[in-house]
Amino acid sequence: MRMNHLVESHHTVLVLLSILIGIIASYATLDLSGRVLASSGKTRMNWLISGSIILGSGIWSLHFIAMIGHYLPIPVSYDVVLTVISMIAGIAGSFGSLYIISHNPHSIYRMIVAATALGAGITAMHYIGMTGMILRADIHYNIGLVITSIIIAVGGGFATFYFWHRYIKDNTSKGKIFKMISTLFLAAGIAGLHYTAMSAASFSLLEQTPDHFSFPIIETPMLTAGVGISSVIILTMMLISISIDRKMAIQSQRIRCLFDNHPNMVFELDYNGCIISMNDACQQLSGYNHSQLLHSPFKKLANKDEETEIQQQLERTLQNESSTFDMTLTYQDRTSMYAKVTTIPIIIDGRIQGMYGMAENVTELKKAEEKLRNMAYYDYLTGLLNFRGYQQKMKEIEYQLEEHERISILYIDCDRFKEVNDTLGHESGDVFLTYFARLLQRSTASDDIICRVGGDEFAVILTRSHLERDVKELAETIINELSEPWKHNDNLFSMTASVGISCYPSDTTDINSLLNKADRAMYQAKRRGKSSYYRYTQDQTTM
């Protein structure tokens, strides 16, 4: 037979303490959850378990601190087994929700599922804990408020994860605000369920109660001790988390210092190749400001004709291969610099999320290399290819030999060059060689290759499929052009040239012997009176 309805009351200090424990546990859990996202393997699972224990214990502590502060005018004890099961339910719900959301914190679907798992864990913990109460009273529930309490728990979880994903990689003041909002929503979901559920419960005194119980019980002093121990565990783990957080923050600052103060351009690209962070050198070297560079495609900083190649290099990096390549970086004022770029993949939880890159200004190095190349392959006086340049060009032609049906070489020697040197001196001789180089450039087509292969000896390489009469006409043109009197310092010279000609494949199938055969033909022209040309044949017959 039921007796009268029991009057309940709450201890304000313990109510506030329970909410504080909920906030502390929520903050510590979300802080540890950041470690879950930043780690993988066993380390990830360890952080996941730690966060679940903290949150589950925090939910349990909030509940039982509030129950200790919940006054009923009758003795209250607790079933040990159900009390332990209630804690396990809270930890299991916490683990399930954190496990689900940690795989993709930006997915709305996962937010809903994770919030449901968390709400189920909080709900199970609370109502199992209430079932474990041993007292001389019946507990009756208002179904509407019970449903409301569940909605509050799930809604608080969803709001938590929604704001949580907004600050995961944001260390700014805005990110900290979102983190605090997430913490308050999580604590509100836990505390909201508890106090709404307690409002849904009413206690009616029973006329009598059994004299003994067949199961172990916890008296209120023991429960207080247990809750105290649980709270100490939460605070201890939070202190450990803060300590680890500080060490990681110091490490992060060291890495950031290297990132920010590196003299080269250092940047981070997302999976689509867009810039999402950069150091100051990026702005200083490119001439663009932060807002102009942020979220813009990296390849757009290059010349148009390099964009395809750069895109291929970035895609290679996304295949888990580091890549090093050259590019011409265009400044905002449309000038440019040569850069050597290295990109490496960013791998999180076994998946490539983007890439880091560094670009070094190698403009001066390129200029020095070009200068050395010019010194090695070009004649300092005329600017034409020298003999080494001729050899390099012939290697290139040989590599693409199947593209050429016919290759001809004109070997040209200035017959009266020694007379210029002896009469006017070497400086005047250099002036003539420069004049003759320009004459050859005027007489030949733009795709013909002109080389200075000796003191006063030049070679013209024709790689197009010229007919023999075309080669003959070119030789005649050069001889006729040079026969015009050359005036220098009031001195007039009538210069002549001897030209030897050899062709591939009619004269030889070895293009490397073409110059030698043309040289022999040129000497044959000299022996026959100079100011003429000869085509190489086995018997040295004229063309």
| DSSP letter string, 293-317 | HTTSBGGGGB-GGGHHHHHHHHHHH
Q: Is 450 helix (H, G, I), strand (E, B) or coil?
A: strand
* Phi, psi torsion values for 319, nearest 5 degrees: -95, 20
Percent of the chain with pLDDT over 70: 86
Of residues 433 and 260, more confidence is placed in 433
323 Cα distance to chain centroid:
11
| Average pLDDT score over residue span 431-436 | 91
Tokens at 325, concatenated: 């390549």
Of residues 322 and 219, more confidence is placed in 322
* Enclosing H/E stretch for 57: helix 41-68
**DSSP strands (E only) in 63-141:** 70-71, 77-79, 133-134, 137-141
What is the tens place of the pLDDT at every residue in 86-129? 888 888 988 988 888 887 877 888 889 988 998 899 899 888 88
Distance CA 188, CA 412 (A): 94
Distance CA 479, CA 500 (A): 12
Q: Is 230 helix (H, G, I), strand (E, B) or coil?
A: helix
Tokens at 111, concatenated: 């937010």
Domain ranges of the chain: 9-250, 262-363, 378-535
Distance CA 459, CA 467 (A): 18
| Average pLDDT score over residue span 401-417 | 85
Can you give the length of the chain in residues?
543
CA distances to 31, 58, 399 from 238, in Å = 9, 11, 69
SS3 content of the chain, % helix, strand, coil (to 5): 60, 20, 20
DSSP 511: G
| Average pLDDT score over residue span 406-434 | 87
- CATH class of residue range 378-535: alpha beta
Distance CA 146, CA 200 (A): 6
Encode 159-192 in three state secondary structure: HHHHHHHHHCCCCCHHHHHHHHHHHHHHHHHHHH
Sort residue 203 into left (φ over 0), alpha (ψ -120 to 50) or beta.
beta
Of residues 424 and 215, more confidence is placed in 424
CA distances to 59, 110, 143, 168, 203 from 117, in Å = 14, 10, 21, 21, 29
pLDDT for the residue 439: 92
Alpha helices, DSSP H only, in 363-406?
Answer: 363-377, 387-399
Q: Is 241 helix (H, G, I), strand (E, B) or coil?
A: helix
210 pLDDT higher than 50: no
Confidence band, pLDDT 50/70/90 cuts, at residue 4: low
Is 434 within 8 Å of 450 (Cβ atoms)? no
* Mean pLDDT across the chain: 81
35 pLDDT higher than 80: no
What is the tens place of the pLDDT at every residue in 490-519? 778 788 899 999 998 888 888 888 889 999
Q: In the block, which residue shows the tokens 């950069």?
A: 278
Confidence band, pLDDT 50/70/90 cuts, at residue 363: confident
| Average pLDDT score over residue span 446-453 | 91
Tokens at 240, concatenated: 């450990």
pLDDT for the residue 386: 92
Dihedral of the CA atoms 323, 40, 260, 170 (nearest 10)? 120
Tokens at 206, concatenated: 């029973």
pLDDT for the residue 237: 65
Which of 237, 245, 187, 190 is CA-nearest to residue 50? 237
Q: Is 269 helix (H, G, I), strand (E, B) or coil?
A: strand
248 pLDDT higher than 70: no
- The Cβ of residue 397 has, within 10 Å, a number of other Cβ atoms equal to 19
pLDDT for the residue 543: 44
218 pLDDT higher than 70: no
Distance CA 235, CA 91 (A): 16
Pairing between β-strand 265-270 and β-strand 275-278 as defined by DSSP bridges: antiparallel
pTM: 0.46
CA distances to 196, 368, 378, 380 from 374, in Å = 84, 10, 5, 8
Topology classification of domain 262-363: Beta-Lactamase (3.30.450)
pLDDT for the residue 458: 95
| DSSP letter string, 336-365 | EEEEEEEEEEEEETTEEEEEEEEEEE-HHH
Q: In the block, which residue shows the tokens 């044949």?
A: 537
The end-to-end CA distance of the chain, in Å, is 134
Of residues 40 and 51, more confidence is placed in 51
